[in-house]
Chain A
């Protein structure tokens, strides 16, 4: 009986929302929306040296992101030698594969990449809730109907967490931020062994 009670308690705890588990305090904000500035300048060619670790294998190449119109981005990946592996177009409510190497043309992979890169390129986000984490603000937003939590430190976006059933699924970390460019970006998945590290080589 006691065991059952404990289990029920655990069930309640594990079903708690992400902010609750992270001890985030609900707070008021006059803000209606927030901005991710890191891929928002249409005059910049955002080029990153990318290192991808997936299932104990490592791949590298160049991740290239360009804002081509309002709420429109191209995201392409090439090897260091210039061979294009994929090339996607993101618009506010659409996603298009312009090119993908036959060996990589797998639905599951494309879906993971689409979800991750959409977080990078989505510039304006509507706030559904706001919290504080010690002294810094955290904003809850939705991308593709999934909860995403945006963490700011000293007015700079430093972390985004995608959660599901109150659990962290993917973590995006932005660092070495200068002039609205994050020179280091890490995307870490918690439920699959996938980690993407990006280092800017913006010329």
Chain B
């Protein structure tokens, strides 16, 4: 009996921290995010990445800058604890690993291609595709949290779910990619600048 009371207590706590949105609220969020995505031409932001592996004592933390320019230029530049940059451009992945340059043709790699599309859509927050994902909407404190569970079996082998957190303006402030094992990668965006002019040269290594 005591166990049940405890359980109820925790369940009610969890419900308080995160409540499901009503259909109208979810529709309003979708409209807001899509609107925001339409007016977003560039994004320039700091990010902190937390790689969580259950067997480790601490998450592996790395930091850097993200640059995005419509329609599909993305650069992730890690500056701590190492220098590493990866640019997603058309069908190619350009890598600069502490000066060592490398290219990967994504055309031959379906996984990278899917990853790229997901990254672009998740930065813009525009990935409300019901045919590809089971989507659920939550309210958490002042923020909105949306969970995307891939329907495609091949994707779900690698990714159990994407969780995106939006601020009140409809910007993505956190992306979490959860693996089937429960390990995850969490990326938190700070100092985000929207529509700052970014030269194409930013997207060369």
Contacts and interface: CB of A to CB of B under 8 A. Distances in A.
B181 A80 contact: no
A62 interface: yes
Interface residues of B, number: 29
A76 B53 contact: yes
A82 B49 contact: yes
B86 A80 contact: yes
Interface string B153-175: 00001100000000000000000
A60 B177 CA distance: 21
Categorize the interface residue count of chain A: 20 to 34
Interface in B37-67: 49, 51, 53, 55-58, 60-62
A203 B58 contact: yes
A165 interface: no
B84 A80 contact: yes
Contacts of A99: 181
B91 to A, nearest CB: 18
Interface of B: 49, 51, 53, 55-58, 60-62, 76, 78, 81-82, 84, 86, 95, 97, 100, 102, 111, 115, 157-158, 177, 179, 181, 183, 185
Interface of A: 43-45, 47, 49, 51, 58, 60, 62, 64, 66, 68, 74, 76, 78, 80-84, 87, 98-99, 101-103, 199, 201, 203
